[in-house]
Amino acid sequence: MPRRRFQKGCLAEKCGRRYGVYRVDVLQTDGTFERERRWEPLGLVGQQSERAAWKQFQPFLDAVNRTAMYAPKMGITLAEFVEQWRANVAVNLKVSSARAIESHCRAHIIPRLGDLPLTEINTKNVQAFVAYLASGGRSRKTVENVLASLSSLLRTAKSWEYAVGNFRVADLTMPRDGVKIEVRCFTDDEMRRIIAAAPEPLRTIVIIIAVLGLRIGEALALRTCDVDFEKRIIRVRQSVDAATRTVAGVKSKASSADLPMPKQLETQLRAYLEKHDGKSELLFTNRLGRPYSANKLRADVLHPLLKRLCIARGGWHAFRHGTASALLADGVTPAVVQKQLRHSDAKITLGIYGHVVGDQQRTAVENRSARLVH
């Protein structure tokens, strides 16, 4: 642990410029600290007095001295820190986010890294952890998700002034991407057949997610007040957690939005609301007045319907994926599709649906083919 020292620093001249010279304690990968000299460039000697140079240098010294007053805490293992994180952080996270990190901790992080002191969570040990994950046949995406959870834990540890080893994902050799499996995507024809044959409330639910591209949790959390016939919009403000069926906020800030209500959807919703009993503010509830379980609704209603229609099995996200793919194929700009899907970044939209061949692309290739092949 570094000694707490108050620095006065000094000025030095080099190549006609003044520099403020001071030292900092840098945490090494083995948990020790090493003093390093730092040179802060100031003004030119001919254009800046020594007094002015000290005045410019002083804020850097003040920052170093403030940091030196609080030596980082050491001697705690990753498993011990995770217990603190559970008590103080996990309870404040979104249920799905906390559940994902807990799952990664329970299955991978604690068994492999839990006994290590925080100072030993360095690039070498994390690289060995990546090799372990990859050896189990896990995809690169799974490895990245586990590392994201580990990085989140270590960021919290650093913010609590624990001495933590240094590692960057950019310094790791990640497993190679395997053969990409195309995500199941319902076509427009399949969606029409499902809508025509689906009983209520599945019919209305499918129409909403197929037309607007909502996530199933968002559709199941819609309230009667979210349907605004006057402005012809549907407000997306909350979501039902798939595991607990609790109603909470949407996935991200970008997910909260007002979406346009087409005439056909308006007609369907008016007809559905005429039969709504009004006992719950939610549009869709089971016999007990609780939100539907997306998993049970899929297994008990959607999948049997698909089997009866001889349509290849797909989950709720196949509707959202199909909606986005159809919009892009119709020539809708990625910016509009991003806004409709409520992705926080257009890169997400293109990254997931970049395989879609749009009308303009198809026409361009066909025109080129006609010029070359006779």
78-171 placed in CATH 1.10.3720.10: no
Sheet holding 17-27, edge to edge: 10-14, 17-27, 33-44
Q: Would you list the domain boundaries of the chain?
A: 10-68, 78-171, 188-353
DSSP string, 277-315: -SSSSBS-B-TTSSBPPHHHHIIIIIHHHHHHHT-----
Residues 6+ apart with CB under 8 A from 29: 122, 123, 124, 165, 166
Which residue's structure tokens are 């005429």?
274
pLDDT tens string 145-194:
999 999 999 999 988 888 888 888 888 999 887 666 777 889 999 999 99
Q: How many CB atoms lie within 10 A of CB 361?
A: 13
Report the run of H or E that residue 228 belongs to, with start and end.
strand 227-228
pLDDT tens string 269-320:
999 999 988 888 999 999 888 999 999 999 999 999 999 999 999 999 999 9
Q: How far apart are CA 200 and CA 277, in angstroms?
A: 14
Going residue by residue through the chain (374 aa), what tens digit of pLDDT does each one get?
445 566 778 888 888 899 988 887 776 655 566 778 888 899 898 888 989 989 988 888 888 777 654 455 667 899 999 999 999 999 888 888 899 999 999 999 999 999 999 988 999 999 999 999 998 888 888 999 999 999 999 999 988 888 888 888 888 999 887 666 777 889 999 999 999 999 999 999 999 999 999 999 999 999 999 999 999 999 999 999 888 888 888 888 888 999 999 999 999 999 999 998 888 899 999 988 899 999 999 999 999 999 999 999 999 999 998 998 888 888 888 888 888 989 888 777 777 766 666 666 667 777 767 777 76
Q: Which CATH superfamily is domain 188-353 in?
A: Intergrase catalytic core (1.10.443.10)
